[in-house]
Amino acid sequence: MPVPTFKIRYDRRVSPAFLGHFVAGGVADRLRVIAQQAALPLDLQMRKNPKSGAQHATLYAGLTAVLNVKETRGGLRLGAHPTWSEGPYGFSPHWGDSLTLDEVRSEWSQIELYLERVVPKAVRDHGMTEGAVQSVVSRSESGDWAVLDREVIPSFVDTAYKRSVLDECMAPMTDAAWAAAESLDRPPASLGAECDLLAVDADGRLLAIEVKPLGAGTIAWVPAQATMYARVLQRWIDVDGETALDGAAPRQVIAGMLAQRQSLGQVVGFSVALPDDLRVTPVVVLQKGAPPVQKDKMRRVRDALARRDLQVPQVELYEVSILGDFERID
């Protein structure tokens, strides 16, 4: 594995050759069509390992990956979680070998038959709650933002540096003494670093979005989760913008990821002039119908966080219906 040329890196851009497999005329173009046109919470995402350069695409059904298409020297390799690839859905073991593009074409009818069998089951198991709400947010027709990625987390040069960054980003929001002084419920002991969705809005702001469906338990500290994601991503922008040695500065990464999504027909009609100074805003999107008492607690945490110097804007709160109607929570 090559020595990283970065301290923090986030980059989901794939090569033009690999992306070409999924656009019109490409060997796997049908995945793009299926993800866009099926009346189900499906999503096609590009993936790249910033350390090794390995590339793959993932078809999600709700929150679960039902098909991975990986680049190999000889062509492509298909994979899926054992729940699906080893289940009674028709995934052929030899798809896990390196297939030439001609072999992928010859197998495509069977690949689609596997998807016909596996997607309904995967959606029932992983796409009826948070996966469904994520799909609504990702496919918003409002034009206010374009979702660039899901399951977002930067890579770090090593584990020790990662731990130091995450601890520093988390500490101001998990201090029980501070929460008690603000008359808040006890904060969580730790906050994760995997953001549900990353989007860019029409003003060029990056949005670190945390999605919560109904029945997700307490939502009081969800603003802290979203703020944690925004702080980590802002650290990537600030650090990688200074240390990138390979032309992968954050502004170029975001512009390239947006162009990639547009090539796949996923954010048609959206355009934005990205600012030189990228800033990340934390956003919470709740499925409509959360209890008022829970939303009141969430507002109190939001307001308390705004009184601390967290180097990111105040978290924005929204509700969304399953029809895709958004409403700002004041």
pLDDT tens, residue by residue, 73-102: 989 999 999 999 998 999 999 999 999 999
Provide the percentage of residues in the chain whose pLDDT is more than 90. 61
Instruction: Average the pLDDT over each of 49-53, 123-127, 195-199 and give the range with the smallest value.
Output: 123-127
**pLDDT, tens only, 267-323:** 878 889 999 899 999 999 998 888 889 999 999 999 999 999 999 999 999 998 877
Q: In this structure, are residues 195 and 210 in contact, taking their beta carbons and an 8 Å threshold?
A: yes
199-221 mean pLDDT: 88
Question: Is the per-residue pLDDT at 134 higher than 80?
Answer: no
Which pLDDT score is estimated for 46? 94
pLDDT digits (tens, 9 = 90+) for 138-184: 765 455 889 999 899 899 999 999 999 999 999 999 999 999 999 99
57 and 45 in contact (C-beta within 8 Å)? yes
Asked whether residue 210 carries a pLDDT value surpassing 80, the answer given is: yes
Which pLDDT band holds residue 136 (cuts at 50, 70, 90)?
confident
322 or 8: whose pLDDT is higher? 8
Predicted local confidence at residue 74, as pLDDT: 83
Average pLDDT score over residue span 193-216:
90
| pLDDT, mean of residues 222-234 | 96
Q: Mean pLDDT, to the nearest integer, of 69-74?
A: 93
Ordered by start, the domain boundaries in the chain are: 8-61+64-126, 131-328
Report pLDDT for 163. 95
Three-state SS for the chain is CCCCCCCEECCCCCCHHHHHHHCCCCCCHHHHHHHHHCCCCEEEEEEECCCCCCEEEEEEECCEEEEEEEECCCCEEEECCHHHHCCCCCCCHHHHCCECHHHHHHHHHHHHHHHHHHHHHHHHHHCCCHHHHHHHHHCCCCCCEEEEEEEECCEECCHHHHHHHHHHHHHHHCCHHHHHHCCCCCCCCCCCCCEEEEEEECCCCEEEEEEECCCCCCCCCHHHHHHHHHHHHHHHHHHHHHHCCCCCCHHHHHHHHHHHHHHCCCCCCCCCCCCCCCCEEEEEEEECCCCHHHHHHHHHHHHHHHCCCCCCCCCEEEEECCCCCEEECC
pTM summary value = 0.90
What pLDDT is stored for residue 324 in this prediction? 75
Q: What does the pLDDT read at residue 315? A: 96
